[in-house]
Every structure is written in structure tokens, then in C-alpha cells.
Structure 1
């Protein structure tokens, strides 16, 4: 039995609330662009031993990484922007869909781009694998490394799951139905990249696999933010 379609008007918002939805959607686009730009830039000051193909993004804000604290602060601010976008843009735009929208919003907020990035200052590994004598186990010797190893995989899974739930919410809203299938496909792409990263994470191309996943996630979030802004008039 097919679910009934919700009425087209997702949320009856005031002009002030509409402006807030659009403002945080724009902030999310800027935050994701900054997120990608700064970890690309940070690779330039990591020194000759660091490899963007083999080493992870987390290595660049480890305790021993040059400029690590700066990059951690930037990523933290990006996470805060995504959290505010989720609360003040995604939820108002889709909440008429009910439970799928609620679950999808919560999952997006707790994903690696939301809560995961917000806690970056507390997820700094003990050392970089690019440092002489630093092993994968050495990186987890401090609380930050252990927290990063725990939250990062869960955060990516939360992002993938959010895509499926948000797609289900969009399917129930006439104004969003055309975006449901692309959102679901994006979630499958992220799931595939997550699997690729799991297989090759410890190899010589682990850093490259992680970067592909990071760029894809940032692009998906940015496109969602653009659509929220475009459809909120």
C-alpha cells in the first residue's frame, strides 16, 4: 500500500524564518567549500614525508602536525555551520514529511560533517604516520586519536543513512519529489566510497580513498543546501 502524499506546503514560515533557512543554507555551501579548500591547502605545509595518497586528513591536524591546531579550528567551525544548517534549514524544509525527515535530520546532525567535525579539536591524534617512528597504534595512544577512530566511521555511516531517510522524506513532499531519487543515488555513491575506503584504508592509497569520500560528502551536502535555498521562497 502506497503512503499518502503530504500536502505541498512543507512549512508555513514567516518571512523572517524563510530568511534564516536561506541564510544557513548559504552558510553550509560556504562551510563545505572551506572544508575542502583548507585540507587541500594544508597538505602544502606538511613536509616531504607526508603523502596525500597514503596519509589521511586527520594526520594533518594531529598533535605533531605543523599548523594542526589551525586546521582543527577551521574544521570545527565548518561542523558548527553544518549543524546550524541542519537545524534551521533542513528540518524546516522537510519536517512536514514527519518521521523520515526527523530521523534524517538527526542523522545528518550527528554525521561526520556535523558533530564529527564539530569535535575536531578533541579528535587530534597523538602523531602523524608521516612522522618517523609513528605507527597506526601510536596515533591512538591519546584520547583524541581514540575518539577519532571511534567517531569517524560512525559519522560516515550516519551520513549515508541520513541520505536514505532524507530521500524518503522528499518522496512524501510534492515540492521535493524530483530530488528524492538523486538523493538516494548520492547515498549509494557515498556507501560505495565508504566500502572502498574500508578496503584500502590501510594501504598506500588510503589517503586518496578518504579524500574521494570527503569531497563526495561535501558536494552532496552543498547540493542539498543549494536546493533548500532555491526551493525556499
Structure 2
């Protein structure tokens, strides 16, 4: 999100190796979000004629009865792992000068639906798809996988929202990140609105779930891009000093 050229100085203190690691994991985090969204967009193509993207969830595409579920099971699990490592090795080090809020926000992001929720995908397989004859909502979540999926989706979303607010609080205290604080809060509110729409409009739950998943991936990807932009001069000539950067 372009906000123009900033006169705020962005700190790039630390050894070059530290910032190289931060940049490397930011690239991993960014790539993971792109692959995550692409995976469930592609997987919809082999779900059969009864599966409806607007009404049926992403989770149903790797249900026990789903065709070719291994693709999504592997990809989403790896993306969840990448998001967790990105948070711990890139987000937290980049924002740690923001104090305790950066630590709490980073921990919450790892525990959110985009982190731990995706990592546990192999254990969150619902019993059937609504596109399957005889499947009902009750039957779909009747197994342990369905129960875990339902729990992680609900709680994991709230944790993701809280992570955004804590990270926004940290950004207010980190030079070069202040302009990101309010957009981060606004993104959290957007997550809540999409989550509420998913519940209130069951006939379009598939649509709103996909919008929520895409918005979460976009938010994390934007954070990765911000870290890459602010660390690009680190370790180069004059490292250990402060340099001017452009806000996204």
C-alpha cells in the first residue's frame, strides 16, 4: 500500500548475517502465502460438479471423502510451517524493538489459523463434503478431524485478529513502521467482518471463507514485503547506521 516517501529513519542495526536471515525468511513467508492461495484455487478444479466454490469450504477439498486430497494436505501444511518460521525468524526480529507487543503479536501469529491452524491440516480432515450425497453439517464435523477443524477455524481467526492488533501496537514504536499501525488494525477488523459474514450467510460461506483466507495471506505477504523493503540496506555499506526508506 503506497503511502509515499517517508522521512522516518529505519533502523538496520546488527550483523549482516542477522539481517540476511531476516530477509531470507521474509522471502519464504511471502512465497508461502502465494502458494497457499494458488493451491486452493487450483484444487477447486477437481472437486466434481456438485462442489460449489461459493457455498462449500476449503476444508472440504481435503475431507476424508474428497478426491485427491493429498495435494492440499501437503501444500497447506508446508505453508503453515513456513508462516510459523517466518514469524519467529523474521517478523519478531524485525519488530522486536517494539517491545512486549512484538513478542506477544508474533506468538499469536504462530498460533493463529494461518500458522498452527494450517500446520495441523492433516489432523483437520472433516468426515465428508456437503457436495457428497447424504452429507450434512453435523455429519461433516462428527469426526475428530471435523471437531478440530471447527475449533481451529473459530479460535484461530480470533487469535489472528489479536495478533494484528498487538503487532500494530509494536509498529507504533518502531521507526519506519508507524504508518503501518492503523492499516494493521483495519486488517484485523476486516478479518472479523469476513468471519461474521461467513457465519451469517451460510449459502455464501465458501466465498467469504476464501476472501478471509486470501485477505490473511495478503496481510502476511504485505508484512513480508515491508520487512524486505526495510532490511534491504542492512549489512551493506554503512550498516549499523540508519538509512531512509520508502514506506509501502
Q: TM-score, structure 1 length as denominator?
A: 0.93
In structure 2, the residue matched to 1:215 is 214
Alignment of 1:1-233 (within 5 A): 12-200=13-201, 203-232=202-231, 233=234
Give the Å deviation of 1:106.
Answer: 0.8
Give the Å deviation of 1:103.
Answer: 1.0
Conserved? CA contact 1:57–1:211, under 8 Å: yes
The one-character-per-residue Cα deviations of 1:6-54 (angstroms, maximum 9, x if unpaired) are xx77674321111111111111111111111010000000000100011
SS for the counterpart of 1:147 is: helix
SS for the counterpart of 1:67 is: coil
Q: CA RMSD in A?
A: 1.3
Unmatched 5+ stretches in structure 1: 1-7
SS for the counterpart of 1:204 is: helix
The one-character-per-residue Cα deviations of 1:110-155 (angstroms, maximum 9, x if unpaired) are 0111000000011011111111011111112221111101111111
SS for the counterpart of 1:66 is: coil
Unmatched 5+ stretches in structure 2: 1-8, 235-248
Matches of 2:100 and 2:70, distance apart in 1:
39
SS for the counterpart of 2:73 is: helix
SS for the counterpart of 2:114 is: helix
SS for the counterpart of 1:205 is: helix
Matches of 1:228 and 1:183, distance apart in 2:
14
Q: Which structure exhibits the higher relative contact order, with contacts defined as CA atoms closer than 8 Å and separated by 6 or more residues?
A: 2
Matches of 1:182 and 1:146, distance apart in 2:
33
SS for the counterpart of 1:133 is: coil
The structure-2 alpha-carbon separation of the partners of 1:98 and 1:10, relative to structure 1 and needing over 3 Å to count, comes to farther
Q: TM-score, structure 2 length as denominator?
A: 0.87
> Structure 1 segments of 4 or more deviating over 3 A?
8-12
Conserved? CA contact 1:58–1:125, under 8 Å: yes
Q: Which has the higher helix share?
A: 1
